[in-house]
Amino acid sequence: MTLSRRRLPILPLYLAVVIAGGASVLAAMLRATPVQDLAGPYPWVFASFALLLLATEARPMPYLTGGGEVTASWTFAFAMLFVAPPAGCLAVVVACSLLVDTIRSKSLLRAAFNASQFALSLAAGAYVGYHIADLALSRGQHPDLVWLVAAATASAVAFGLNSLFIGVVLALHGGLPVGEVLRRSIWVNAGMDGVLLALAPIFARTGVNAWILLPLLLVTVWIILRSASIALNNRHEATHDLLTGIPNRRMFEDHAALLLQGTARAGSKAGLIHLDLDGFKGINDRLGHYYGDLVLKEVARRLDDNRRAVDHVSRLGGDEFAVLLGHLTKPAEALDVAQRLLAVIEQPMDIEGVPLSVGASLGVSIYPDHGEDLTTLMQRADLATYEAKGSATNVVMWRPDAESNGPGKLALLADLSGAVEQHQLDLVFQPKADVATGIITGVEALVRWRHPVHGTITPGRFMPQAEQTELIAQITDQVLDQAIGQCVAWHDAGIRVGVAVNASARNLHDLRFPARLQDLLYRHHLDPAWLELEITENTVMADPVRTASVLGHLRALGVRLSVDDFGTGYSSLANLRTLTIDTIKIDRSFVTDMTSRPGDLAIARSVVELGHNLGLRIVAEGVETMEVFELVRQLGCDEFQGFLLSPPAPASELEPMLRRGRMSDLPPDPRTTPAAPPVPLSPISRGVIR
């Protein structure tokens, strides 16, 4: 937290009051206590605790991740309170706090506040405790029940005031409700601080009467701090994104609830920016997930470094981020923040020597103007993000008429579960044909969502989000069920054609997937040889061991395997060959413009040559013109797919072409008279009786 970046006028006044109060209390106590009495009757014990306090403040135990720290300051501060007058204890506490904060280059304001709130908390605890009983164990008395009550009360008062001072700062700084911030802060810190405070009288008694046991107590403190750091680290990992280190969706929702609650009480405004990266998929596809992850980390760093102090940045998942905006005076202020963040993101990146750049689309919603709960604000910011992708500025604020412009990602994801249950997912099919003969060799099944409000939605709009949820298994099963059923229907009608279905990364990392597929094939009585699963190379390389295991089971079933969109990832043909792949499909981005882009032609030629050397069949995707088809034929591709042959179409519309069995008006191949392409084994020859 950077206190100098405050927004509310009450915050500096509060800081000034606490600092003045701490200084006044310390000055009054020092005037009332002779200098020779500050260290008490056991100065060497007092000095030992002072050094331990300084050491634990200067070298606190860090979290395992997250950059947080835990310290045993309360143990040694209270231990001094039991062996010396409060004035001496407060003087050491203030001096240590100021010294450590100065060494760490903290601002003077923050250092003064930290020292003052520590002194006030300790002074209040001592005042209450000494009014119940004499806390000074060094005067020869033995602890009794009254003394125990006094020590416990003093500890509770000090801990409570410390939580209050810090909680009020956090609440004022972020525009959050003070009561809720205090409740959560006390809940998190009570366990560790309670144990550390409980150790203070034990340290005092041991220092006075059995100092040789102090090292054993220090080991106990170290164990407590170590346990606390592990517990806090686990809590940090549960609320922060492991890749970027910024808060995750869980913490975003938690903080948003507090922000909206505080904003409602203050009668002010808050904002929400939903940010979706543009061009990120291309980086992931062409350079691989390693560079994609580095780009996400850099974007997260830029957002966090350039936010306002009262704002909160989170990664929602994938390439989506959210920024909560506090203390807005007018909606236009949110647009200004969004445009500034966009400019920061669009600055060129240098990722391990590779120059990269991404854009972003940002949607903005305002509380309470556009919604009075987080769900509504998120949906409307998401809709605005979708609209921003087609705008000139890439930053759009939600408008009431935006509902008719189309759904955003979050809205689609919310509807997707119902779509699966209501069987709103349909299939269209795109054929592929032999390059030499034009004979149809199979069809690829492509999913379409018949949304009751927004019409037909293509998979690129909802599948990336579905792959991040458990819905992907249900979607895949439905697609396979429809595709296999349609293949059987064609066979029953005398059309002997196989079908290909895309499999996602989650499918190929799911060890239960082969068994589910086997059950579908058995129920439909389809020979596995008629089914082909298309996978992407990035899917293979994301978890090669698990993927190899799943693919091995699929191969054992007799299912054919092909690699889709080859060339956009970062694997090699040799890696794919170890997975017993049958076919490689050259990505359309290298095929469609081959006539005008020599580099694409060179890449395609290399893939064909290497693939054939490894005994793989090669399919060219995205063949849309006769000029491209002729190049595909010259390269030696085995099959082709694209609009030149047929666009994706429902099964009923495609059936006439499938009955004809080949592409019409295919020019003859001047190089050779081709033989008929290999036909999958019939169900009878594979031992399946239908």
The pLDDT of residue 517 is 92
With a CB cutoff of 8 Å and minimum separation 6, the contacts of 66 are 232, 233, 236, 237, 240, 245
560 - beta bridge partners? 532
Residue 690 CB neighbours (<10 A):
11
- The CATH homologous superfamily for domain 249-406 is Reverse transcriptase/Diguanylate cyclase domain (3.30.70.270)
The Cα 478–Cα 449 span in angstroms is: 12
With a CB cutoff of 8 Å and minimum separation 6, the contacts of 564 are 502, 534, 535, 536, 585, 587, 621
The Cα 24–Cα 586 span in angstroms is: 77
The pLDDT of residue 677 is 46
Q: Which two tokens stand for residue 93?
A: 């506490």
pLDDT mean by block of 10 residues, the chain; 690 residues: 46 89 91 87 86 83 60 81 87 90 88 91 89 72 78 86 85 75 70 73 77 76 72 75 88 88 84 90 76 91 89 89 90 91 90 86 91 88 82 84 55 72 88 92 91 76 71 86 94 92 82 90 93 78 71 88 69 57 85 84 87 89 91 93 91 91 69 47 34
The pLDDT of residue 484 is 94
Q: Which CATH number fits domain 428-660: 3.20.20.70, 3.40.640.10, 1.10.10.410, 3.20.20.450?
A: 3.20.20.450
Q: Which residue has the tokens 């700062």?
A: 169
With a CB cutoff of 8 Å and minimum separation 6, the contacts of 205 are 82, 137, 143
Amino acid at 381: A
Whether the CB-CB separation of 605 and 632 falls below 8 Å is answered with no
CA 463 to chain centre: 18
Q: Which residue has the tokens 């060494």?
A: 103
Residue 627 CB neighbours (<10 A):
13
H or E element in which residue 20 lies:
helix 10-32
The pLDDT of residue 192 is 66
Domain boundaries, the chain: 3-239, 249-406, 428-660
Output DSSP code: residue 530: G
Q: Which CATH number fits domain 3-239: 3.60.15, 3.30.67, 3.30.70, 1.10.1760?
A: 1.10.1760
Residue 171 CB neighbours (<10 A):
21
Given this chain, do its domains 249-406 and 428-660 carry the same CATH topology?
no
Q: For residue 575, give Cα distances in angstroms to 78, 537, 548.
A: 63, 10, 11
- Taking the chain, what is the end-to-end CA distance rounded to the nearest angstrom? 70
Question: What are the DSSP calls for 590-623, one per residue?
Answer: HHTTTTT-HHHHHHHHHHHHHHHHTT-EEEE---
Biggest alpha carbon–alpha carbon distance for the chain: 112
What is the spatial order of strands in the sheet that 395-397 belongs to? 312-317, 320-328, 269-278, 359-367, 395-397
pTM, full prediction: 0.55
Give the number of residues written for the chain: 690
Q: What is the 3-state secondary structure (H, E, C) of 283-300?
A: HHHHHCHHHHHHHHHHHH
The Cα 528–Cα 198 span in angstroms is: 69
The Cα 658–Cα 357 span in angstroms is: 45
Whether the CB-CB separation of 500 and 442 falls below 8 Å is answered with yes
The Cα 53–Cα 80 span in angstroms is: 10
Output DSSP code: residue 504: -
Q: Which two tokens stand for residue 594?
A: 């081959």
